[in-house]
Amino acid sequence: MNHWYYFLENKHKTEQLLFAERLNHALDIFGIPPKGRGRQLVVAKMFNVSQKGASKWLEGKTFPEIGKIKTIAERLNINIEWLLTGSNYINIEDLPSPGKSSMKRIPLLQWKDATNWNHIGLNQNTRWGWADAEISPCAFALQICDDSMLPRYEIGAIIVIDPEEKPKHRNLVIAQKSNGEVICRQLLIDGDKRYLKPSNLKYPAYLIGDKENKIEIIGAIRQVFMKVS
């Protein structure tokens, strides 16, 4: 018997429910339809299990076998340690780059400093973040502090921005409005028009080039980390 699986199966039921919460959270981020709208069927097909088995995972009635847990983590691009225990980072998005990459320390800024951090100076009070994506020396990190990018990114997510990365269609970007506010949006390109769209539709979208709402893109998001308590 796989002792890891035996250990999981004999954990208190609360642990199964917590696992189900994390699994459903990861599925939300991945864009899988919610419960009651086909999630059970999609999960069953994704991981080659019966709908009954998928339902038990999603409702916290049982754990998947450890081989399936590894497959789930790989398919959803999440940290298996987070999926199993809730500790460490979920790693909800890691945008791959060609070539080798290594961990780099980058400044974790206030949003108001995102447009001119090279001029504000770094000191012993500077907060730092880390990234292992291929980024330029100008890259920096921000922590999401509103719900404009829900459900894709939650409040507290750490985003890594590279001002030298040319954003493409559907890339996530950081931009500055004419009033100085810095926002996070998805870039949509339609012919010669470019739009900034929020994930949370209660927030406004913007047309880049609009004379009334002048907006300048600061940089593209290269990597995202989110820690879930």
- Please report whether residue 98 resides in a domain: no
Query: How far is 44 from 160, CA to CA, in rounded Å?
Result: 34
The tens digit of pLDDT for each residue in 17-67 reads 888 988 998 888 777 877 777 888 889 888 999 999 999 999 988 888 888
Which domain CATH number covers 29?
Answer: 1.10.260.40
Closest CA relative to residue 218, chosen from 167, 159, 150: 167
- Please report whether residue 158 resides in a domain: yes
Query: How many CB atoms neighbour CB 63 within 10 A?
Result: 21
**Domain count within the chain:** 2
Which of 91, 118, 134 represents a domain boundary (last residue)? 91
Q: Are residues 86 and 108 in the same domain?
A: no
What is the mean predicted confidence (pLDDT) over 106-123? Answer: 76
At 122 the pLDDT is 59
- Please report whether residue 96 resides in a domain: no
Which of 39, 62, 91 represents a domain boundary (last residue)? 91
Q: Are residues 125 and 176 in the same domain?
A: yes
- % of residues, the chain, pLDDT over 70: 82
- Please report whether residue 144 resides in a domain: yes
The tens digit of pLDDT for each residue in 132-145 reads 778 888 889 998 98
Q: Are residues 108 and 83 in the same domain?
A: no
pLDDT band at 9 (very low <50, low <70, confident <90, very high): very low
Question: Cis bond leading into 98, ω under 30°?
Answer: no
With 0-12 / 13-18 / 19 or more C-beta atoms within 10 angstroms meaning exposed / middle / buried, residue 64 is buried
Average pLDDT, the chain: 80
- % of residues, the chain, pLDDT over 90: 27
Q: Are residues 31 and 81 in the same domain?
A: yes
Q: Tell me which residue range forms the domain holding 153.
A: 104-225
Q: Would you say residue 152 has pLDDT above 50? A: yes
- Please report whether residue 97 resides in a domain: no
At 100 the pLDDT is 40
Give the CA count within 13 Å in the CB-facing half-sphere of 92: 25
- Please report whether residue 99 resides in a domain: no
Which domain CATH number covers 135?
Answer: 2.10.109.10
Q: Are residues 131 and 206 in the same domain?
A: yes
For the chain, give the DSSP string.
Answer: --HHHHHHHTS-HHHHHHHHHHHHHHHHHHTPPPTTTTHHHHHHHHTT--HHHHHHHHHTS-PPPHHHHHHHHHHHT--HHHHHHS-S----EE---SS----EEEEE--GGGTTSHHHH---TT-EEEEE-S---TT-EEEE--SSTTTTTS-TT-EEEEETTS---TT-EEEEEETTS-EEEEEEEEETTEEEEE-SSTTSPPEETT-SSS-EEEEEEEEEEE----
Task: Tell me the pTM.
Answer: 0.55
Which of 91, 120, 136 represents a domain boundary (last residue)? 91
